[in-house]
Structure 1
Amino acid sequence: MADRLTFNLSTGGDVVIKLRPDVAPGHVERITDLASSGFYDGVKFHRVIPGFMAQGGDPTGTGMSGSDKPNLKQEFSSEPHVRGTCSMARTSDPNSANSQFFICFGDARFLDNQYTVWGQVESGMEYVDALPVGEPPREPGTIVKATVA
């Protein structure tokens, strides 16, 4: 299984994420399958809240959609939601994660044990910090290309 995911962002560089199959094997498999297929290429960060998180992974850019794959069963863990944590977005149904994810800007420990952590940013967090803010941003930042290694 791959151990790194790289998002080349429109904000100027690569965000390298260490994958965590040890805590969320099903979610890591989904993310890497989608990334390998080109699903995330060109996808917008449709919800960027300073000090909290940047959310993307919806091909429509609205936050209301996902991939055509079935939703995932939750893989909650006590992994902390801190700066650089990558976790899955979902509805109020704990088993509704699909393709949307978020990257934490800072401490969001209140999300621990309620959202599935699947990775941690190793480098390039400055490019996440540079994403245009808003819900949605007027000119959203995008994933130019996603690659798995």
Structure 2
Amino acid sequence: MPASGFAQSSSTPAAIADLDPSNVLVIEVDGGPIYVELLPDVAPQHVARIQTLAREGFYDGVVFHRVIDGFMAQTGDPTGTGTGGSGYPDLPAEFSQIPYERGVVGMARTNDPNSANSQFFIMFGPAASLNGQYTVFGRVVAGMDAVDAIKKGDARRNGMVTDPDAMIRARLLADLNG
């Protein structure tokens, strides 16, 4: 799908019709658009960071560097190594009671709960071990087929991906339609 055409209102899924367009992140990948409802009532600082980075074009061309089949797809590191972040300070944890299930989007971090920065992951399936341990900031409301199509990594290498898929671009729906 061409970069200029993925957010046309005629192709916007009905699932997001009643959502605030400033709280919908549209991630374009080769498999099509992924629509993520952002949850500012759950994780206000993390949502604000994602909104800022999307508006800056930070995520454009960033790869899914760690993808574990049946578990999750991780992205948001401009270096593609899993060790990079933005120039902004790390964020304090905003843990919630939202369980990690298929389509939930959470912030990646180091062993320090207050180290989330720009990296995030989208769940392929449930993972109760993550509940209350990583900040949930969104959920996929349309486009899980595109998430499922992201190239998977080598399980023997903790999901590291050779020649990984990338986010073509990520923007807020409000910025695309306005």
TM beyond 0.5: yes
Matched residues in 2 for 1:113 and 1:136: separation?
25
Deviation at 1:64, TM superposition (A): 0.7
What's 1:73 paired with?
Answer: 92
Q: Give identity over the alignment, percent.
A: 55
Displaced runs of 4 or more, over 2 A: none
Which of 139, 161, 165 is matched with 1:137 structurally?
Answer: 161
What's 1:39 paired with?
Answer: 58
How many residues are treated as equivalent by the alignment?
A: 148
Q: In structure 2, the residue corresponding to 1:143 is in which secondary structure?
A: coil
What's 1:17 paired with?
Answer: 36
Deviation at 1:147, TM superposition (A): 1.0
Deviation at 1:76, TM superposition (A): 0.4
Q: Which has the larger radius of gyration?
A: 2
What's 1:94 paired with?
Answer: 113
Deviation at 1:133, TM superposition (A): 1.0
What's 1:115 paired with?
Answer: 134
Deviation at 1:101, TM superposition (A): 0.3
Higher helix share: 2
Question: Which residues of structure 2 form unaligned runs of 5+?
Answer: 1-19, 154-158
Matched residues in 1 for 2:117 and 2:23: separation?
20
* Offset from partner CA, 1:78-105 (integer Å, 9 cap, x none): 1010000000000000000000000000
Deviation at 1:137, TM superposition (A): 1.4
Higher relative contact order (CA 8 A, sep 6+): 1
* Matched letter for residue 92 of structure 2: K
Deviation at 1:42, TM superposition (A): 0.2
Indicate whether 1:7 and 2:27 are aligned: yes
Q: In structure 1, the residue corresponding to 2:102 is in which secondary structure?
A: coil
Matched residues in 2 for 1:109 and 1:17: separation?
21
Matched residues in 2 for 1:115 and 1:44: separation?
21
Indicate whether 1:51 and 2:75 are aligned: no
How does the TM-score come out when normalised to structure 1? 0.97
Matched residues in 2 for 1:6 and 1:58: separation?
18
Matched residues in 2 for 1:109 and 1:126: separation?
22
Matched residues in 2 for 1:108 and 1:31: separation?
23
Q: In structure 2, the residue corresponding to 1:120 is in which secondary structure?
A: strand
What's 2:17 paired with?
Answer: none
* Matched letter for residue 138 of structure 1: T
Deviation at 1:136, TM superposition (A): 2.2
Q: In structure 1, the residue corresponding to 2:147 is in which secondary structure?
A: helix
Q: Tell me how large the CA RMSD over aligned residues is.
A: 1.0
